[in-house]
Amino acid sequence: MKLELYESYSFNPYENLGAEAYLLESCPPDTLRFYLWQNAHTVVIGKNQHAPSEVFVQALQNDEGILARRSSGGGAVYHDLGNLNFTFIAPTGIFDIQKQMEMIALALRHAGVNAQVNGRNDIEIDGAKVSGNAFAHSLNKHLHHGTLLVNVDKMKLAKYLNVNPKKLKRKNVTSVSARIVNLRELIDIDIQKLKDLLFRAAEEYTGTLGLKCEFPSDNAKAYMNQYASVEWLFPEPAKENLVFEEAYDFGLLKWFFESQDGVIVKNSLWSDAMDTQWIDALQAHINGCVNTEKAIADRLRSFLDKHHTEDIKQIIESFEALASIKS
C-alpha cells in the first residue's frame, strides 16, 4: 500500500472540496490518500441538507461568510482558521473507517489528551466532542473526512447554525456549542503542530512512509466550479404541498412533497443522516405515490434496505400517527 499526503494552503472551501473530489475520483487502487485543509469563515452543510433550514444564510452573508455543501452526509458545521479538516481517501480493501478514526485519536493522544472514538462517528475528550466525521462513496472508492476543533470561535458557530430543536431534544443538549470542546482549552497546541502529529500518526498507523504530494489545483478546477455553483448550493426543492419533519436516532428528516391531482410528482428529502445513498433512494421511491400520510406509509413498506430496516419502521410509524390524527 502507498500513502500519499496532501496539504492545502488555500482557505477557500470550493477549492478545498473540489480538490477533495478530484483526489477521490483519481485515487489509484493501491493507495491511501490523507489530506489536510482549512476553510476561513465558512458554514459547510451535508449533501442532503436544506440550507435555509439549517443555516442563518443572511447573517452569514452579511458577515462576508461563505456557504458550502459537501459530498457527504451529516449536519452543518462552522469552519474558521481555528479548525483543521482531514480527509481519508482509499479504494475498497484499504478503506477502514474504524482504523482511520483510531488513527486520528492516536494523533490527539500524542498531543496529550485522552481522545476516544465513540459510537456516533465522533471523537471525544472526557465526553466533549472534538471531532465530527462524515463519509461519501464513489463506486469502489471511499471518502472519510472530519473536523478537528483547535480554537474555533464558538460564538460564530452559535450565530450561523440554526439547529432544529427536535434534534437538540433527542440528543438531550441545549445547544451545539454545549457539547464541543476546543483543543486549546485543554492543551497548548496550534494548527501546524497538529498537522505534524497527524502526518506522523498516518505513517505510524499504516507502517508506511508517506509521500508528500502537490495540491491538485489545476486538475480540480471543474470540481471546484461545481461546488461553487448555485445549483449545487441551493438545489430547487419540491413545491410545498405537504411537509413532514421529524428527528430520529439516525438524523433529522425534512420532507417536501409536490403533487398533481393528488399524486406526488416530485419530492425533496432533506436530512443530516450520514448515509446519503439511502436518503437519495428513499426520495426516489416516493414519486408516484398518492399524497396522503397513509399512502406514504404504505409505500414506505415496500422500500427494501437491509441496513435501515429499523429506521424505515420509525418513519412509517410517524406517518401512520399523522394519518390517525387526520382520520
Q: What is the largest CA-CA distance in the chain?
A: 66
What local confidence, expressed as pLDDT, does residue 167 receive?
Answer: 67
- The three cell numbers of residue 74 are 451529516
The reply to whether domains 2-233 and 242-326 share a CATH topology is: no
pTM: 0.90
For the domain spanning 242-326, the CATH number is 3.30.390.50
How far out from the chain centre does Cα 5 lie?
22
pLDDT mean for each 10 residues of the chain (327 residues): 96 97 96 98 96 94 97 95 98 95 95 89 92 91 97 92 73 62 96 97 94 94 96 85 86 92 93 91 94 94 92 95 84
Query: ∠ CA(234), CA(232), CA(79), 5° rounding?
Result: 85
Q: Which helix (H) or strand (E) holds 36?
A: strand 31-37
- The second-level CATH assignment, the architecture, of 2-233 is 2-Layer Sandwich (3.30)
Sign of CA dihedral 319, 324, 325, 327: positive
Domain ranges across the chain: 2-233, 242-326
Confidence at residue 238, expressed as pLDDT on a 0 to 100 scale: 75
Rounded to 10 deg, the angle between the 13-25 and 221-228 helix axes is 130
Angle of CA points 215, 217, 220, to nearest 5°: 115
